[in-house]
C-alpha cells in the first residue's frame, strides 16, 4: 500500500495496477478485494487481476499500455521473461531486505529470527531468477529488541515507498545510476514460513525462542503444549534462569509467568489459549492454575 500511495501522491502516470484476483475472506467466505485494488479504484486507476501472467491475453493487454516501468511489490506471481523485457526502464522490485541477504519469500521474519542487527529495503531490477537482479538503491533500519514481523513490515513498507520515490525521481531526470550487481557469495535464502516450525522447543535458548516469537507474530504465531492444551505465545522477554527448573517447566515468580529453557528463561507477556482471546500473562494467571505444569 505505501508504495502505491507514494506513486499516486507523486503524480506518476499510472496506466494500470495489477493485483491478484479477489479471494474469499471472513466467516462468510465472500470475495474481498485486496487493499491495493481498493486504493487503486478510489483513485480512478485501471485494475487488472490476472490469475497468471503467462497467458498471452494479459501480455498483449499490457503491451498495448506501453509502460515505461513496471514496479512489483509482494505480488506473489511469477513475472515471465517476456513481461520483464516489455517496459523501457525494465521491472523494479521493492524487496524487504538488504540484498543479497534474505532473498526469497520471508525476508522480514528470517531477519528477526536470525538476530540481524539491521535490515532494510532494496530497489532491485527484476530478473527471471529469484531476487538475483542488480540493485539501484538500499535503505537500512535497525531491528529493535521489541520488533515483530508486523512492526518491521509496516516500517519497511514506508521505507520501500521512500526508496522507490528516490529512484523514480532520478529516472525522470535521466540521472539514475546503473544498478550494482549482487554478490551471490553473500546470498542467504529466506525460506517460506510454515506452521510446523512455529512450535517452541524449550531445549533451545531463551534468546533464540524470543526471536522466533517476534518473527512469527502475526503469523504463524509461536505455540507450545502445556497443561494439556495448546498455547499461542504472542510476546515474551528473556530473563535469568529459574533455579531448579527443567526446560519447558512453567513457574510463577513474583506474579510473572516464566518458562525455563536450556539457557535462561522466558517471561511470557502475552498468551492465548486455543479458541480463546489474546491476553496478558497476568490475566492468564488469574484464570488458570498452572501448579501441575
Instruction: Tell me the per-residue pLDDT of 250-283, one tens digit each, with 9 for 90 and over.
Output: 999 888 999 999 999 999 999 999 889 999 999 9
Check residue 54 and give its pLDDT: 87
Instruction: Tell me the per-residue pLDDT of 105-162, one tens digit each, with 9 for 90 and over.
Output: 999 999 999 999 999 999 999 999 999 999 999 999 999 999 999 999 999 999 999 9
- Is residue 77 predicted with pLDDT exceeding 90? no
Cβ-proximal residues to 206 (8 Å cutoff; 6+ apart), any chain? 238, 239, 261, 263, 264, 265, 266
What proportion of the chain, given as a percentage, has pLDDT over 90?
86
Q: What is the pTM of this model?
A: 0.95
Which cell numbers hold the place of 45?
Answer: 486507476
Check residue 290 and give its pLDDT: 82
Predicted confidence band of residue 76 (pLDDT cuts 50, 70, 90)? confident
Check residue 43 and give its pLDDT: 96
Residue of 201 and 275 predicted with greater confidence? 201
- What's the CA gap between 219 and 194, in Å, rounded? 9
Check residue 1 and give its pLDDT: 81
- Is residue 243 predicted with pLDDT exceeding 90? no
- Is residue 209 predicted with pLDDT exceeding 90? yes
Residue of 212 and 26 predicted with greater confidence? 212
Check residue 120 and give its pLDDT: 98
Check residue 98 and give its pLDDT: 98
Check residue 202 and give its pLDDT: 97
Check residue 142 and give its pLDDT: 98
Check residue 289 and give its pLDDT: 82
- What's the CA gap between 255 and 267, in Å, rounded? 11
Amino acid at each position: 500500500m505505501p508504495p502505491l500511495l507514494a506513486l499516486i501522491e507523486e503524480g506518476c502516470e499510472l496506466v494500470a495496477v495489477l493485483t491478484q484476483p479477489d479471494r474469499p475472506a471472513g466467516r462468510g467466505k465472500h470475495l474481498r478485494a485486496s487493499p491495493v485494488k481498493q486504493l487503486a479504484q478510489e483513485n480512478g486507476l485501471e485494475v487488472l487481476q490476472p490469475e497468471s501472467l503467462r497467458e498471452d491475453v494479459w501480455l498483449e493487454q499490457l503491451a498495448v499500455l506501453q509502460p515505461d516501468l513496471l514496479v512489483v511489490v509482494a505480488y506473489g506471481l511469477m513475472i515471465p521473461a517476456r513481461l520483464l523485457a516489455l517496459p523501457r526502464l525494465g521491472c523494479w522490485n521493492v524487496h524487504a531486505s538488504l540484498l543479497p541477504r534474505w532473498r526469497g519469500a520471508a525476508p522480514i521474519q528470517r531477519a528477526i529470527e536470525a538476530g540481524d542487527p539491521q535490515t532494510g529495503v532494496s530497489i532491485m531490477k527484476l530478473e527471471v531468477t529469484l531476487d538475483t537482479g542488480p540493485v539501484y538503491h538500499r535503505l537500512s533500519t535497525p531491528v529493535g529488541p521489541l520488533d515483530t514481523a508486523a512492526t518491521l513490515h509496516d516500517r519497511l513498507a514506508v521505507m520501500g515507498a521512500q526508496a522507490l520515490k528516490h529512484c523514480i525521481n532520478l529516472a525522470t531526470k535521466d540521472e539514475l545510476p546503473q544498478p550494482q550487481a549482487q554478490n551471490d557469495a553473500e546470498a542467504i535464502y529466506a525460506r517460506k514460513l510454515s506452521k510446523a516450525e512455529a512450535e517452541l522447543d524449550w531445549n533451545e535458548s531463551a534468546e533464540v525462542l524470543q526471536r522466533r516469537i517476534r518473527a512469527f507474530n502475526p503469523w504463524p504465531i509461536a505455540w507450545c503444549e502445556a497443561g494439556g492444551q495448546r498455547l499461542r505465545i504472542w510476546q515474551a522477554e528473556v530473563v535469568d534462569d529459574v533455579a531448579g527448573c527443567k526446560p519447558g517447566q512453567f513457574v510463577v515468580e513474583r506474579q510473572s509467568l516464566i518458562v525455563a529453557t536450556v539457557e535462561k528463561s522466558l517471561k511470557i507477556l502475552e498468551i492465548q489459549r486455543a479458541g480463546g482471546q489474546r491476553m496478558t500473562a497476568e490475566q492468564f494467571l488469574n484464570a488458570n492454575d498452572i501448579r501441575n505444569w
